[in-house]
Structure 1
Amino acid sequence: MVAIVASYPQPHGHEDHQVPHYHFKYGVHDPHTKDHKHQDEERHHDDVKGEYTIHDPDGTHRVVKYTSDKHKGFTAEVHREGHAQHPAHHGKHGEHGGKGGTSYVGVTHWGHGSGK
């Protein structure tokens, strides 16, 4: 992604009285990383409204619709679409499933609460 920002100095004593207005959209659909999201936002004067969606790792889609104005501030409505699915993970017979690791001080520690 490339972003370009331009800034121009305003002459002293001159105020810009233009009404703020913009509309933008972007989206990502990457099957390799499974990154799927989009955003759509627009502003008229002091009122902003928009929506974004994110494909969560559990298979659901999170949808956030939001507004912002000088009277109510920022408000958002969040809901999920779909049903969460977690992949089945089966270890070999006799495996405890924890992963061992060595910290930078040389002390070995294990997952699943092994205290010794």
Structure 2
Amino acid sequence: MISKVLVLALTACAVAVVTAEHAHSSQHIHKHEGHHHKVEFKDHHGHHHYDYYAHPKYEFKYAVKDPHTKDHKEQHEHRDGDSVKGEYSLHEPDGSIRHVHYHADKHSGFHADVKHSVHHIVPHHHHH
């Protein structure tokens, strides 16, 4: 009986390893905790209110690679205050890959540079 359970457990592990080789995803998030500053403001009635502000700063990236579903994408973004910079790529259904590099800040707004790379398919002719 123990050998049957062991064989079943090893089979389950082998299936899990095979499954894990087919699809892959990952993520990384890093948040920078800064010093909080007390901010005072008045509402339209003249009442004083307080809030706290911390300098926003973070970085993240993630990736998905699944050959079974053909879902391939990656993103990386970094923010420091009002400046955000990032890039992402994804495989389109037509086989091309969309690459987007973007940045945004309070002075120039949001800008994105989008490019597509195409994998050329070389037809293979069979001679009969």
Q: How does 1:24-103 map to 2 (within 5 A)?
A: 24-83=60-119
Mapped pair 1:21 → 2:65: no
Q: Structure 2, unaligned stretches of length 5 or more?
A: 1-24, 26-48, 122-128
- SS in structure 1 of the partner of residue 103 of structure 2: strand
- Which structure would you say has the larger RCO, counting Cα contacts within 8 Å and 6 or more residues apart? 2
Alpha-carbon offset, residue 55 of structure 1: 0.6
Distance change in 2, residues 1:84/1:74 (3 Å): farther
Q: Structure 1, unaligned stretches of length 5 or more?
A: 2-12, 86-116
Superposition RMSD in Å: 2.1
Hey, what's the Cα distance between the residues in 1 that align with 2:83 and 2:111? 12
What stretches of structure 1 move > 6 A for 4+ residues in a row? none
Alpha-carbon offset, residue 15 of structure 1: 2.0
Higher strand share: 2
Hey, what's the Cα distance between the residues in 2 that align with 1:76 and 1:84? 25
Higher helix share: 2
Hey, what's the Cα distance between the residues in 2 that align with 1:14 and 1:40? 34
How many aligned residue pairs are there? 75
Deviations 1:11-64 (A, max 9, x none): xx5422210001000111011100000100010000000000001112111100
Deviations 1:71-116 (A, max 9, x none): 111100000122366xxxxxxxxxxxxxxxxxxxxxxxxxxxxxxx
- SS in structure 2 of the partner of residue 39 of structure 1: strand
Give aligned-pair identity as a percent: 51
